[in-house]
Amino acid sequence: MPETIYYKEQLQAKEAMLAQTTKFLVQIQKDLEQKNNELLVVNREIFESINFASRIQNSLLPDTDILKIFFKDAAYRVIQQIGIGGDSVFIKNTNKGVVFGLLDSTGHGVPAAMLSISGNLLLKELMTSMEIDNPHTLLNLLNYQLHTTFNNSRSSIAHKEAIIFNYSSKQNRLTYGSARGKALLLYDNGEVYELPNNKKSIGDEANSSFELFEITVSVGNKLIIYSDGLIDQFGGVNNKKFSKERLKQLLMKLSKQSATALAAELESEFKLWKGENKQTDDVSFIVIEF
């Protein structure tokens, strides 16, 4: 009899422990559900904020019709990694022609978007108040302003890769300044020429100086300006980078396309290459047809 009582007491103790554990697990589940609901609310608010910020940043993008006044055709794409980011296109007409280019700020998301917007506003201010249209001078002043504003002697937080062109319609002259900016000249026979650039980024050093280049273009040529994100995207069958060589090969095949059609093809090829992969970086490119 005592043995029966012992086992009965043991069974009751285990049942009590099981009930206590079940109660504890139920409470944990309720807590997790509450936290999950809170996270869903926060996630929705963040998504809505990014979505609205994306609309604001996109509203600041320039009108390609300005370029179409000076060139046969023009088109561009800006595909930010999370809707907002550091890539931006700059276009502003002057009393002599048009200044245009592409800027790629360090980082992604909100910080990069802030640098992107501040850089474009500084460029517009330099061109409007000081009436500067020389790419060499614009890059030098933008570099100095960004470096002294955002950086200090201990650290450097504001960097951009950029390339800015100036086309003079009166002189039929195309000059540009480059801070690690990337551009290709596509001839109508399919030949591709890579434009030289400066190896320093904007913001590296306060007193950096960026060389002024001049190129000759002919009717039928196309200028393709692009950011790193295009060629650094992982994808394809073997999950490799898109690469500069693949971009050149693609441009050779599309040499007869208009700027508008070529830009659409580039975007399509990029998305096809990316597939289900995460976008590696912000992506942007400009196509100009002379």
Residue 281: per-residue pLDDT: 95
Pick from 164, 156, 145: nearest CA to 102: 164
Pick from 179, 184, 182: nearest CA to 198: 179
Residue 154: per-residue pLDDT: 56
Residue 155: per-residue pLDDT: 55
- Give the right CATH number for 61-289 from 3.40.1280.10, 3.60.40.10, 3.40.50.2300, 3.40.630.10: 3.60.40.10
CA count, 13 A, side-chain hemisphere, 193:
13
Instruction: Extract the tokens encoding 176.
Output: 């540009």
pTM for this structure? 0.84
Residue 151: per-residue pLDDT: 65
d(CA 216, CA 199): 22
Residue 283: per-residue pLDDT: 97
d(CA 103, CA 180): 10
Q: What are 183-217's pLDDT values in tens digits? A: 999 998 999 999 999 888 988 887 888 999 999 89
Residues of the chain with pLDDT under 50: none
Residue 34: per-residue pLDDT: 81
User: Around Cβ 42, how many Cβ atoms within 10 Å?
Assistant: 10
Q: Residue 106 has what DSSP assignment?
A: S
Residue 156: per-residue pLDDT: 60
Residue 54: per-residue pLDDT: 86
Residue 89: per-residue pLDDT: 97
Parse the chain into domains and list their residue ranges.
1-59, 61-289
CB 182 within 8 A of CB 226: yes
d(CA 88, CA 100): 11
Q: What are 37-62's pLDDT values in tens digits? A: 777 777 777 778 788 888 888 888 99
Pick from 229, 232, 269, 264: nearest CA to 104: 229
Residue 6: per-residue pLDDT: 67
Paired with 202 in beta bridges are 160
